[in-house]
C-alpha cells in the first residue's frame, strides 16, 4: 500500500526490517513512532523522522512570534517597483480573518500566515521540499547535453539544447512556496528567465524569495515576480508576445483560457497542471487500518486543498462497513485549531469563496442522498474552518463524486468486483493520481496498469493528461519542455 497523496505531504510507508523510534517534541517524549527512513511528516504536533543511521532527537521547529512583512511590491530586474496603476490588494490571515498587509498588484511562519496551513506542515513539506527541488535542478544545470549522430558516410547530425527564452508562470495558493520553486528551478537550470505571478491570496512568500534572489546576486531580470489578479497579471502573461512559454497550475477552466490566450498571441508553449478527482481502491486483503490512516492523510492534508487529494475511495463490499467505521474513528483524532500551534494538523480554508464552495458541495451531497457519517459543518460561527467530512453511500452521479471539491471531504463508495472498481475509478474526467491497497503484488500491478492516471500508487512523474495535465512536471522529463532542440547537419569533408 502506498500513500495516495502524491508530492507535497506524502509520508513514509512501512518496510520490513525497519526500526521504530520516538521523536521528542522540544525535549518531551510524545511517543510518536517513526520509521528509520530519510523523510519527515508533521502530524498532530509530532514529526515522523527517519534516517539511514541513528540521530539524536531534536526539538520541533517553532513559528516566529512576530513576523515582519517587508516586501509587498513587484520584484522586477532585482528591484522592488510600484505598480504603474498604483493599485494594491489586501492579503488576509485565513485563520483569523485579519488583514496582514496590502500588496502591490501586478521563511515558513510567513507561509502559515499566508495560507492557514499548519506550521509543521509548512516547515517539513513546503520548506524542505523547496530546498530539495532547488538542489535537484541545480544538479541538472551542467548535464543538459546534445548528441552527435552519423547519418551516413557523408553527413553527421549534432543536436543542441538551447533555452526556450522567457518563461511565464502562474502558480496557485495551496502550496505557494513549493509551487514557486517547482516553476523557477527547472526553468533556471535550462538557462531561461522567468516572469512569475503568485496567487493573489498568497503572494508573501514569493515576494520574500525575491529578496533572497537579490541577496544571492542573481543577474537583474532573471527572475521577476508580478503579484496581481488572474484577469490582469495572469492574462498579461498568457497573452504577451514576448513570453515564449507559460506554465500554469490551477483549475481546468482557467487552464482552458490560458491555452486560448497562448494560441491567439504567439502560439507559445503551454504546460498545464489542472484538477484531480483521485480514486483509491481498497481490496479486502489489505491492511485495513493502514489503508484508513493513509487515505485520510491524502484526503484531509492541507484541509483537502490539494489537486492530489484522495477524494474518491472505492472499498470492497465485504469490508465496507468496517472501513467506514474506522474512518470515522480516525477522523475524530484530527486536531483542528490555530495553524501556528504545533499540535494543530487541520487549519482553515484559504478564503471565504473556497469555504462557500465546499459547504455548497457538502449540502449537495446530503440532498442527493449520500450519508453524512462525520463532520459536514463549520467550526465556529464566523470562521473559515470546516470539519473533516466523511460521506458513505455515495453514487457516481452525485456532485461530490464528480466535481473537484478542493476541501476536506472524503467520499466512500462500495464495489463488488475488480473490474467494476477499475471502470468506476476511470469514469472521471480527471486523470491525476490513484492508489491501490492490497496484499497482492500481482493485483497491485495489474490494477495500477489499468488505471488512467499519471501516478498510480501501489505499495507505492506526473503524467497522463485527460483534464489534468499537458506536459510533464518535475524530474528529467520537464527539462525537454524548457529547451529548444536544434539539429545541425554537417557535411564530412573527409569521408569515414
Distance of CA 20 to the CA centre of its chain: 28
Tell which wins on pLDDT, 225 or 496.
225
Most confident region among 142-146, 174-178, 412-416, 426-430 by mean pLDDT? 412-416
**Per-residue model confidence (pLDDT) at position 90:** 60
Starting at the edge strand found earlier in the chain, the sheet holding 469-470 runs 79-81, 74-76, 223-225, 193-197, 166-170, 245-249, 269-273, 469-470
Q: Is 149 helix (H, G, I), strand (E, B) or coil?
A: strand
Nearby residues of 300 by Cβ (< 8 Å), 6 or more positions away: 331, 334, 346, 388, 408, 410
Bridging pattern class, strands 279-282 and 312-316: parallel
Nearby residues of 224 by Cβ (< 8 Å), 6 or more positions away: 74, 75, 76, 77, 193, 194, 195, 196
**Per-residue model confidence (pLDDT) at position 47:** 46
Nearby residues of 28 by Cβ (< 8 Å), 6 or more positions away: none
**Per-residue model confidence (pLDDT) at position 147:** 85
Tell which wins on pLDDT, 211 or 53.
211
**Segments of 36-122 assigned E as strands:** 40-43, 46-49, 74-76, 79-81, 88-92, 99-104
Q: What percent of the chain has pLDDT over 70?
A: 72
**Per-residue model confidence (pLDDT) at position 86:** 54
**Per-residue model confidence (pLDDT) at position 284:** 96
Distance of CA 216 to the CA centre of its chain: 27
Do 74-274+470-486 and 279-466 agree at the fold level? Answer: no
Q: Which among 48, 111, 273, 316 is annotated as catalytic?
A: 273
Lowest mean pLDDT among 58-67, 215-224, 284-293, 435-444: 58-67
Nearby residues of 382 by Cβ (< 8 Å), 6 or more positions away: 97
**How many C-alpha atoms does 252 have within 13 Å on its Cβ side?**
17
Q: How much is the mean pLDDT over the chain?
A: 79
Question: Stretch 126-147: mean pLDDT, rounded?
Answer: 88
**Per-residue model confidence (pLDDT) at position 129:** 87
Lowest mean pLDDT among 151-160, 230-239, 340-349: 151-160
Q: How confident is the model at residue 316 (pLDDT cuts 50, 70, 90)?
A: very high
Name the CATH code of domain 279-466 (choices 3.90.1330.10, 3.40.309.10, 3.30.590.10, 3.30.420.40).
3.40.309.10
pLDDT tens column, 452-463: 876 655 543 333
CB-based burial label for 75 (10 Å; 0-12, 13-18, 19+): buried
Tell which wins on pLDDT, 481 or 351.
351
**Per-residue model confidence (pLDDT) at position 1:** 37
Lowest mean pLDDT among 83-87, 171-175, 400-404: 83-87
pLDDT tens column, 3-30: 344 333 333 333 333 233 332 333 333 3
**Per-residue model confidence (pLDDT) at position 484:** 84
**Per-residue model confidence (pLDDT) at position 10:** 32
Select from 251, 300, 330, 301 the least CA-distant residue to 125. Answer: 301
Nearby residues of 283 by Cβ (< 8 Å), 6 or more positions away: 316, 418, 436, 437, 438, 439, 440, 443
Question: Stretch 405-418: mean pLDDT, rounded?
Answer: 97
Select from 384, 398, 403 the least CA-distant residue to 94. Answer: 384
**Per-residue model confidence (pLDDT) at position 60:** 59
Lowest mean pLDDT among 216-220, 416-420, 422-426: 216-220
- Domain residue spans of the chain: 74-274+470-486, 279-466
Q: How confident is the model at residue 94 (pLDDT cuts 50, 70, 90)?
A: low
Residue 360 has pLDDT above 80, yes or no: yes
**Per-residue model confidence (pLDDT) at position 151:** 82
Dihedral sign (CA 318, 320, 321, 327): positive
Question: Stretch 297-322: mean pLDDT, rounded?
Answer: 94
Give the C-alpha separation, 189 to 101, whole Å. Answer: 33
Question: Stretch 275-280: mean pLDDT, rounded?
Answer: 90
DSSP string, 25-60: ETTEEEEEEEESSS-EEEETTEEEE--SS-----PP
CB-based burial label for 495 (10 Å; 0-12, 13-18, 19+): exposed
Nearby residues of 215 by Cβ (< 8 Å), 6 or more positions away: none
Question: Stretch 181-199: mean pLDDT, rounded?
Answer: 94
**Per-residue model confidence (pLDDT) at position 275:** 83
273 carries an active-site annotation: yes
Q: How confident is the model at residue 78 (pLDDT cuts 50, 70, 90)?
A: low
Query: How many beta carbons lie within 10 A of that of residue 267, not counting itself?
Result: 8
**Per-residue model confidence (pLDDT) at position 108:** 54
Tell which wins on pLDDT, 486 or 319.
319
Given a contact cutoff of 8 angstroms between Cβ atoms, the answer to whether 383 and 398 are in contact is: no
Nearby residues of 260 by Cβ (< 8 Å), 6 or more positions away: none
**Which architecture does CATH list for 74-274+470-486?**
3-Layer(aba) Sandwich (3.40)
In the block, residue with C-alpha cell 485527460: 466
Q: What percent of the chain has pLDDT over 90?
A: 43
Nearby residues of 105 by Cβ (< 8 Å), 6 or more positions away: 83, 85, 87, 88, 89, 227, 228, 229, 232, 233
Residue 265 has pLDDT above 70, yes or no: yes
Bridging pattern class, strands 99-104 and 88-92: antiparallel
Select from 261, 178, 208 the least CA-distant residue to 7. Answer: 178
Amino acid at each position: 500500500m502506498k500513500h495516495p497523496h502524491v508530492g507535497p505531504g506524502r509520508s513514509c510507508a512501512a518496510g520490513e526490517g525497519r526500526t521504530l523510534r520516538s521523536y521528542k517534541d522540544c525535549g518531551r517524549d510524545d511517543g510518536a513512532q517513526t520509521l528509520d527512513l530519510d523523510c519527515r511528516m508533521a502530524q498532530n504536533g509530532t514529526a515522523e523522522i527517519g534516517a539511514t543511521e541513528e540521530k539524536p532527537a531534536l526539538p520541533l521547529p517553532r513559528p516566529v512570534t512576530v513576523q515582519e512583512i517587508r516586501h509587498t511590491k513587484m520584484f522586477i530586474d532585482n528591484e522592488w517597483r510600484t505598480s504603474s496603476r498604483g493599485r494594491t490588494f489586501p492579503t488576509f490571515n485565513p485563520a483569523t480573518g485579519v488583514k496582514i498587509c496590502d500588496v502591490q498588484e501586478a521563511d515558513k511562519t510567513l507561509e502559515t500566515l499566508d495560507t492557514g496551513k499548519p506550521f509543521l506542515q509548512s516547515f517539513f513539506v513546503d520548506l524542505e521540499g523547496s530546498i530539495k527541488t532547488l538542489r535537484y535542478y541545480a544538479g541538472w544545470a551542467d548535464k543538459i547535453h546534445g548528441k552527435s549522430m552519423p547519418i551516413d558516410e557523408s553527413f553527421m547530425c549534432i543536436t543542441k539544447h538551447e533555452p526556450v527564452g522567457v518563461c511565464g508562470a502562474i502558480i496557485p495558493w495551496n502550496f505557494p512556496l513549493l509551487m514557486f520553486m517547482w516553476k523557477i528551478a527547472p526553468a533556471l537550470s535550462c538557462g531561461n528567465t522567468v516572469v512569475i505571478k503568485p496567487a493573489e491570496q498568497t503572494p508573501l512568500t514569493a515576494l520574500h524569495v525575491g529578496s533572497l534572489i537579490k541577496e544571492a546576486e542573481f543577474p537583474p531580470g532573471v527572475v521577476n515576480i508580478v503579484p496581481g489578479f488572474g484577469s490582469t497579471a495572469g492574462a498579461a502573461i498568457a497573452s504577451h508576445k514576448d513570453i515564449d512559454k507559460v506554465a500554469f497550475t490551477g483549475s481546468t477552466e482557467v487552464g482552458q483560457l490560458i491555452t486560448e490566450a497562448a494560441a491567439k498571441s504567439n502560439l507559445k508553449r503551454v504546460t498545464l497542471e489542472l484538477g484531480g478527482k483521485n480514486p483509491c481502491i481498497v481490496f479486502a486483503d489489505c491492511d485495513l487500518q493502514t489503508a484508513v490512516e493513509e487515505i485520510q492523510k491524502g484526503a484531509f492534508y492541507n484541509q483537502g486543498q490539494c489537486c492530489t487529494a484522495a477524494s474518491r475511495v472505492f472499498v470492497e463490499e465485504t469490508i465496507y462497513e468496517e472501513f467506514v467505521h474506522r474512518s470515522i474513528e480516525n477522523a475524530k483524532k484530527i486536531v483542528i485549531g490555530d495553524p501556528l500551534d504545533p499540535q494543530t494538523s487541520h487549519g482553515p480554508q484559504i478564503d471565504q469563496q473556497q469555504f462557500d464552495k465546499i459547504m455548497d458541495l457538502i449540502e449537495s451531497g446530503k440532498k442527493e442522498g449520500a450519508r453524512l457519517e462525520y463532520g459536514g459543518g463549520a467550526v465556529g460561527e464566523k470562521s473559515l474552518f470546516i470539519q473533516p467530512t466523511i460521506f458513505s453511500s455515495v453514487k457516481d452521479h452525485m456532485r461530490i463524486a464528480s466535481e473537484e471539491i478542493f476541501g476536506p471531504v472524503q467520499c466512500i463508495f462500495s464495489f463488488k468486483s475488480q473490474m467494476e472498481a477499475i471502470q468506476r475509478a476511470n469514469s472521471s474526467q480527471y486523470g491525476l493520481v490513484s492508489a491501490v491497497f492490497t496484499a497482492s503484488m500481482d493485483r497491485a500491478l495489474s490494477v495500477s496498469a489499468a488505471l488512467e492516471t499519471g501516478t498510480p500508487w501501489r505499495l507505492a512523474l506526473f503524467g497522463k493528461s485527460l483534464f489534468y495535465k499537458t506536459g510533464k512536471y518535475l524530474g528529467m522529463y520537464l527539462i525537454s519542455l524548457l529547451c529548444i532542440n536544434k539539429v545541425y547537419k554537417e557535411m564530412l569533408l573527409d569521408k569515414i
